[in-house]
Amino acid sequence: MYDLNPPKTKSNGLLLFVGGLMLVVLVSMCALMTAGFVTIARAVMTTAPQPGARPQMVRSVAQQPTPRPQVIVQPPADGADYESAVLRNIYEQNNVSVVNITVWMDHPPLEGQSALPIPLPNNDDELLPLVNGSGFVWDADGHIVTNNHVVEEGQRFQVTFSDGTSALADVVGRDPDSDLAVVKIDPEGYNLVPVQRGAMADIYVGMRVAAIGNPFGLQGTLTSGIVSALGRTIPSRGNFSIPDSIQTDAAINPGNSGGPLLNERGEVIGVNAQIRSDVRANSGVGFAIPIAIVERVVPGLIADGSYNHSYMGISGVTFSPICGGEQGIDKAQRGVIVDRILGGTPAARAGLRGSTRPITTEYASVCPDAAGGDFIVAVDGQPVTTFDDVLIYLARYTSPGDTITLTVLRGDETLDVPLTLAARPR
């Protein structure tokens, strides 16, 4: 028989003691490791962002949250409020760049009235200072930007700076279609400080703006307001218009024409051009030619004396869903109905089709009185929803001689129509 319980010896007892001790140590280590894993898992679960929840910062029990300091916008050190400080900075930065333009015209004095003395050489008793406008220094070569309507009828042009110095100026270029002009003085001896120019992409409705000019001949006048709207279309020569214009409630009055519209950083974002008022005085609706057009036109006027605008030769109507049934166009579509094609124009050569089928519309103020014209939905792949979108694209990005691609719906077909632009007829 085998004895399953042999008698214990001294060496067996020692082995049992050592083995038991090792077992206790091993069990203790396992317990510690298990506790560590649990602690780590809890920490990970605590710090990992849960779906739909914001990440939380983990703090130890002893670490209390530090109260966040209250952020207070401090006014300038001299006690001026923020808006006053901004406007003061705009004025100090730009008033030296803004000029008064006196235009002397051929206009004989009234009976019994003598002509005003002209503080310029070669006096001509038949000339009178009949127009005052504004302008601003474009570069250190003496080029000054203003409105075309300020200088278009003049024979002599006097530029007066903020320090009271005056100079004779010559017109180097005019563009009636954008209502922009450039005059030039001899820069020698004058402190010419060119303006800084802003970017169209940075302009938004509600932006704080300021205008500096010479309303009613009061030189160096600052007015302020906001951008009231973007993408306005204002009239220019004949049936043409200036797209992409900026509407502002900053006071614009006669004499402000040609002066700069400035953003909060003191950069020019437009040239003040028109007001909408029954009494030729500010009514809170003024317009400025946008910097996007100014940046394209002014260099052309300096280099060539003129600027050529892109031209297609169509008249178009913004599509409204209410016209869908009459026009046979899905009401969910957006784009421009080609109403008329002028003969011998780029549009005619490209094969665009105008509306040739007369209809009796119930909505004469909104819908065309003819159907069947091409329906423009994109220009160079850029979707358009209004006719102004087409005009803005041409003004910002194209020049005569460029070929654009119009995406049009013609019946059940979608066509890409290449069209080579020409210069706008004069």
Catalytic residues, which ones? Answer: 149, 179, 257
Q: CA angle, corner 127, sides to 126 and 133, nearest 5?
A: 160
Contact 276, 287 (CB under 8 A): yes
Assign 114 to helix, strand or coil.
coil
Q: What is the DSSP letter of 331?
A: T
In the block, tokens 């570069």 appear at 139
- Entry field: residues in the chain: 426
Assign 235 to helix, strand or coil.
strand
Task: List C-alpha distances in Å: 100 to 138, 144, 258, 294.
Answer: 14, 11, 9, 19
Assign 199 to helix, strand or coil.
coil
Kindly calculate the radius of gyration of the chain based on its CA atoms and give it in whole angstroms.
Answer: 37
Residue whose C-alpha is closest to residue 336's, from 411, 245, 406, 401: 406
Residue whose C-alpha is closest to residue 102's, from 214, 212, 222, 193: 214
Assign 13 to helix, strand or coil.
helix
Task: List C-alpha distances in Å: 80 to 74, 84, 211.
Answer: 10, 6, 20
Q: What is the DSSP letter of 63?
A: -
First to last CA, the chain: 130
Measured over the CA atoms of residue 90, residue 93, residue 97 and residue 101, the dihedral's sign is positive
Task: List C-alpha distances in Å: 90 to 149, 161, 336, 383, 416.
Answer: 26, 17, 41, 37, 48
Contact 423, 311 (CB under 8 A): yes
